[in-house]
Chains A and B, each alone.
Chain A
Amino acid sequence: MATTYTPIATQTLGSAAATVTLSSIPATYTDLVVVVSAAVASSSGDLLMTFNTDTATNYSYTTLTGNGSTVTSSRSANRNNIPCDYNGWLATTLGNHNCIISVMNYANTTTYKTALTRSNNAPLGTDANVGLWRSTAAINQIVFINNAGSNFIVGSTFTLYGIKAA
């Protein structure tokens, strides 16, 4: 049987980095899944995501989030990026945070691209976000940064899987 859930790339940081890029994504899968287990050096912040080389205001997102006492739903349009979290943002301790991102139909060249993200940082909160990239281009690159400007630390992992429908 053909493999249908395939690792495309893994980055395990051997040195701190401000940006993590998953590039040269082939268009041969149906959906993408990214699993992030990361921490930042200081000033915990949001995990932000952009596609290809687009950093223009072509993104929007909606979040449903809980911090252990309050439930919030929020949204933002015409942004430069998609936040993958809200309350469950990046920690400064490796292992506390995880984020799972699903992008269905990522290589379709007639539709905009929607990403579902689940971010978790148990001491802080849990989030379910949906992000929209208003582009019909196939996704060939995913870029992650931290909005607080702090580097991702050594040992942070970013793994990209491709899922084939057949």
Chain B
Amino acid sequence: MADTFIKIASVTVGAGGAASMNFSSIPSTYTDLLLKISARTNRANITDAISLSFNGLATNQTSRYLEGDGSTAVSSSLTSFRTLASGNNATANTFGNSEFYIPNYASSTFKSASSDGVSENNATAAYAWLVANLWSATGAINQVTVTDLNSATFVQYSTATLYGIKNS
């Protein structure tokens, strides 16, 4: 049987850091997309927020999230796709992890995504997010760009890997 869980592309940030991690020319031949991110930035903070855009557009995005920080749980909404990274002041060698699952990314309907993200820190200020995301656009996703919401830089060893999943 043909492979049905396939790595499309992977980005690993080098010594110079990177402003974004980008996936372009995504074929429409899969059913779903899965993006896995391991990220740390040079933002002078324990945690950082990173954003996702599709096809070069950051518009028509809504999300509703559930957040826990070890003592408090909150829920709120945003007009963007966001997840978590570790910032420069987090425990050394620690990277935040996130995963976005996008069903039917090439369909002509709106695109919803399920995402979970964490930024652990062996001290205070660590977060876990569960997020419902919606891109209210009907075009097929052919590009995914991961950037830092606070204009910081991804540090070396940050990675993002895009997988395609086929239903047949």
Query: Which A residues fall within an 8 A CB radius of B?
Result: 3-7, 10, 35-37, 64-71, 88, 93-98, 100, 118-128, 155, 157, 159, 161
Q: What are the interface flags for B101-129 relative to A under an 8 Å C-beta threshold, 1 for contact and 0 otherwise?
A: 10110010111111010000000000000
Indicate if the CB atoms of A95 and B110 lie closer than 8 Å. Answer: yes
B31 with A159: CB separation less than 8 A: yes
User: Contact check: which of B3, B63, B134 meets A96 at CB < 8 Å?
Assistant: B134
Which of B15-23, B69-77, B89-97, B141-149 is found at the contact surface with chain A? B69-77
Cβ A70 vs Cβ B75 within 8 A: yes
Chain A residues within 8 Å of B114, by CB: 98, 100, 118, 120, 126
Task: Take A70-B75, A95-B112 as given contacts and tell me if A126 and B165 are in contact as well, using a CB distance cutoff of 8 Å.
Answer: no
Q: In the complex, what distance in Å separates the CA atom of A66 from the CA atom of B128?
A: 13
Q: Which residues of B contact A (CB under 8 A)?
A: 1-5, 31-32, 62-67, 73-77, 101, 103-104, 107, 109-114, 116, 130-134, 165-168
- Known contacts being A10-B168, A71-B75, A122-B64, is A88 close to B5, with CB within 8 Å? no
Knowing that A88-B64, A95-B109 are A-B contacts, what are 15 other residue pairs whose CB atoms are under 8 Å apart, sorted by A's residue number? Answer: A7-B167, A35-B103, A37-B103, A64-B130, A95-B112, A96-B134, A98-B103, A98-B112, A118-B114, A120-B133, A124-B64, A125-B75, A125-B132, A128-B130, A157-B104
Residues of B within 8 A of A159 (CB): 31, 167
Please list the 4 inter-chain residue pairs (A to B) with the smallest Cβ-Cβ separation, ordered nearest first.
A66-B75, A95-B109, A120-B132, A66-B66
User: Which residue of chain A has the shortest Cβ distance to B1 in the bound complex?
Assistant: A3
CB distance from B112 to the nearest CB of A (A): 5
| Minimal Cβ-Cβ distance residue in A for B166 | A7
Give Cα A69 to B76, complex, Å: 5
Is the beta-carbon distance between A7 and B4 smaller than 8 angstroms? yes
Tell which of A35, A64, A88, A128 touches B32, judged by Cβ atoms closer than 8 Å.
A35
A-B contact pairs, 27 of them (CB 8 A): A5-B4, A6-B1, A7-B4, A7-B166, A10-B168, A35-B101, A37-B103, A37-B104, A37-B112, A64-B66, A66-B64, A66-B73, A67-B75, A71-B73, A97-B112, A100-B114, A121-B112, A122-B112, A122-B132, A123-B64, A126-B64, A126-B114, A126-B132, A127-B130, A159-B167, A161-B4, A161-B167
Query: Which chain A residue lies CB-closest to B73?
Result: A71
Which of A5, A95, A100, A122 gathers the greatest number of chain B CB atoms within 10 Å? A122
CA distance A64 to B73 in the complex (A): 10
